[in-house]
Structure 1
Amino acid sequence: MQSEAQLEMDERKRESIVAYLRRRMAEYGIEPEDVAASMAADAAQMRAARYRDAAGHTWDGKGDAPRWVVQATSAGQSLEHFAVGEAAEPEQQSVKAPSVDWRQDPFAGSRLAKVRTEHSGAA
């Protein structure tokens, strides 16, 4: 459980990030509706995906197969290995690299962002 001081610090970091994002959006003329529409389109594309690799590339199974599918199947991998579904999800999660906790970096997403590696020697 987080202490009250930690929660207050997290809230200040959040406010700092929100202010930074608002300035950048204003600088580029991006409206909140633009962000919402982009996120909705991304979500729709992810729902439409029938195949996904460990790097996050997706394919809906229609049209010519993308390069990542051709390369994998040419190397002997089964197309069903990449099928999206209940059976495929746990396997993909175990392949993911350790995530970075960006909540600890108030400048996440900017050129000032930094990645702190706590796992020295991890491949």
Structure 2
Amino acid sequence: MDERKRDSIVAYLQRRMAEFDITPEAIAASIAEDQRRLRAMRYRDAAGNSWDGEGNAPQWVVQATSAGQSLEHFAVEVWREQHSPKRSGADWRNDPFAGSRLAAIKLEHLETR
């Protein structure tokens, strides 16, 4: 984005914020609350309903699990990654492909799957 366009957008946002009496602190607080809510979200369905996993399960969870769907199906990836048991490292000492082209594949590439 060029500098003039950026300045124009910033000026527009500042005018709209003044018009509705919105402070930068209010925006920062709103963003922080959204991020906190997203971090707390453990389960979400395709319709956008979410649940943090605490308290009584909401109706959409009760209906889905009663219909046979597992709760893990609705687990949010971020929460799942943070709370899933870590896989133990592989023992590469007995790797039959050591020294071959197959051993040269980047580990990061394999972990993204």
TM-score (norm 2): 0.56
Q: Distance in 2 between matches of 1:14 and 1:54?
A: 35
Question: Which residue matches 1:108?
Answer: none
TM-score (norm 1): 0.53
State percent identity of aligned pairs. 71
Among 10, 34, 38, the alignment partner of 1:18 is 10
Structure 1 position 77, deviation (Å): 1.9
Within 5 Å, which residues of 2 pair with 1:9-88? 11-84=3-76, 85-86=80-81
For structure 1, the 5+ residue unaligned runs are: 1-6, 88-123
Q: Distance in 1 between matches of 2:29 and 2:17?
A: 15
Amino acid at match of 2:72: E
Structure 1 position 26, deviation (Å): 0.7
| Greater Rg by CA | 2
* Aligned residues of 1:51 and 1:61 also touching (Cα < 8 A): yes
Paired residues, what number? Answer: 79
Runs of 4+ displaced beyond 3 Å: 54-57
Higher relative CO (Cα under 8 Å, sequence separation at least 6) belongs to 1
> What is the root-mean-square deviation of aligned Cα atoms in Å?
2.3
